[in-house]
Amino acid sequence: MDQLKQLFGEKSEIVRTQLRDLVKEKGKVEVDKVYLEQIYGGMRGVKSMIWETSSLDPIQGITFRGYSIPALQEKLPKINGSTEPMPEGLFWLMLVGEIPTDEQVQWLSDEWERRSKIDEHTFKMLDSLPADTHPMTQFSMGVLSLQRESVFARRYFEGMGKSEFWDASYEDAMNLIAKLPQLAAYIYRRTFFKGDHIAPDHTLDWGANFAHMLGNDTQDFYDFIRLYLTIHADHEGGNASAHATHLVGSTLSDAYMSFTGGMTALAGPLHGLANQEVIKWVFEMLESLGKDDPSKEEITDFVNRTLDEGKVIPGYGHAVLREPDPRFIAQKRFAEKHLRESGIVQVVWKLFDVVPPILQSLGKVKNPWPNVDAHSGAILVHYGMKEFTFYTVLFGVSRALGVLSALCWSRALGFPLERPKSITSQWLFNFADQKQV
């Protein structure tokens, strides 16, 4: 058994026993109330699931096992003089709750490299799709095409018992994560570069190899992709891609099936697709204004026009956060360090000044601040990746780290089939009739 799997097995066994005892002893403790407006309003704030790998505070933002993004940047191992953390280190941290050593991270990087080979049938399937098939559709189909290799599905078919679920899920998570960069890069190059593919460089770490296969071999781009893959990985369990993965996984669908569910959720414009929508909207603004360096007044007019047309401002607002997203700030810091002069980045910074007061003035937007998706596109464009319909795939590769480590935990803790109760509107009207506010 490999070192990470052994550690995960030991740690999760302890938590499983603690949780079992807790539920036995205090199972009837009331945790929270649920209000009618929460049932009607997308279940905001309803505490209803366990998610070990990260936690979201409306003001402080995301922490991964207690570490904020700046803390991760400081403490996670880095490679070859890089200033950004290796996403491999975050996966280790999320899975077992410990900051790994340089040796442990190197082992994990090598392990993913060892598991990274993709069978030819996946490439043939992708090549059979029209090139204008959305990259997120290709990505989801690519992941599903790998499912025939699922260790969990095979062992379940062979009669595996419950106590082995976490072991098989770990194998699937490791195999799938290992393959995602090449799968994603293949989709990018077939869709936008007429199939001019770049072979993996087996000497590079997971993030840098992905950057290499996308087609940019500068150290700055390697660093940006390492940072990007780290900060997009997890955002506690209630967001749509995490929750969808969790829900599908609770039926004992394997990691490939579950992750595909998460990716089709990520592909919505109110969630991960917002990263493509932001830059598309910025390009539309520049075209409409006929210039690359609009003034704040011109930007204000365009923002108001967008709102007047009944549309949202992409990249702004959040269901949980109530301050600027620390993932936005991390990207802004990166841009301040590496690409302060970039024209498109300057536009994003002007939006940061202009948009929040306008959204605030509407009086209904709970969070007028930028979210994770407001900044990434400008940096990618600066590095030559203008093909914005691909951006959500980058997000998806990163999100795999969080949702698949969480899936391992769900199987290790023996979580049951998720099955909340729905009610009809008529039930709600009748119920509300009998209650006083």
Point out the residues that are catalytic.
271, 318, 373
Binding to ligand HAX (CB under 6 A): which residues in 267-286?
A: 270-272, 274
CA of 342: how far to CAs of 218, 368, 411, in Å? 17, 25, 46
Measured from the CB of residue 246, what is the shortest distance to ligand HAX in angstroms? 16
Give 316 or 388: the residue with its C-beta nearer to ligand HAX: 316
Contacts of ligand HAX in 373-392 (CB under 6 A): 373
Give the nearer residue to ligand HAX in terms of CB position, either 88 or 234: 234
SS3 assignment, position 222: helix
Measured from the CB atom, the residue of 38 and 82 that comes closer to ligand HAX is 38
Q: Which stretch binds ligand HAX (CB under 6 A): 5-13, 216-224, 284-292, 370-378?
A: 370-378
The rounded distance, in Å, linking the Cα atoms of 382 and 179 is 27
372 binds ligand HAX (CB under 6 A): yes
- Rounded least distance, CB 273 to ligand HAX, Å: 8
Query: Does residue 236 interact with ligand HAX by CB under 6 A?
Result: no
Residue nearest to ligand HAX (CB): 317
Nearest Cα residue to 398 out of 250, 255, 263, 278 = 263
Among 277, 272, 260, 258, CA closest to 138: 260
Residue 305 Cβ vs ligand HAX, minimum distance, rounded to whole Å: 13
Three-state DSSP class for residue 54: strand
Q: Specify whether the CB–CB gap between 371 and 317 falls below 8 A.
A: yes
Contacts of 415 (CB under 8 A, 6+ apart): 50, 250
CB-nearer residue toward ligand HAX: 215 or 314:
314
Amino acid at site 342: S
Of 270 and 432, nearer to ligand HAX (C-beta) is 270
H/E stretch holding 396 reads helix 391-412
Task: Give the other-Cβ count within 10 Å of 63's Cβ.
Answer: 17
| Residue 175 or 367 with smaller CB distance to ligand HAX | 367
Report in angstroms how near the CB of residue 239 gets to ligand HAX at its nearest.
6
Partnered with residue 341 across adjacent β-strands are none
CB distance 366 to 408 below 8 Å: no
Spell out the alpha helix ranges (H) of 240-372: 240-249, 255-266, 274-289, 296-308, 326-338, 343-362
Q: Is 305 in the site for ligand HAX (CB under 6 A)?
A: no
Q: How many positions of this chain bind ligand HAX (CB under 6 A)? A: 21
Q: Is 326 in the site for ligand HAX (CB under 6 A)?
A: no
CB of 399 to ligand HAX, least distance (A): 9
- The DSSP symbol for 389 reads G
The H or E element that residue 162 is part of is none
The answer to whether 364 contacts ligand HAX (rule: CB under 6 A) is: yes
Q: Does 212 bind ligand HAX (CB under 6 A)?
A: no
Interacting span for ligand HAX (CB under 6 A) from 47-55, 141-149, 218-226, 309-317: 309-317
Distances (CA, A) of 367 to 69, 240, 323: 20, 18, 7
Asked whether position 144 contacts ligand HAX by CB under 6 A, the answer is no
- Binding-site ranges for ligand HAX (CB under 6 A): 239, 270-272, 274, 312-319, 359, 364-367, 371-373
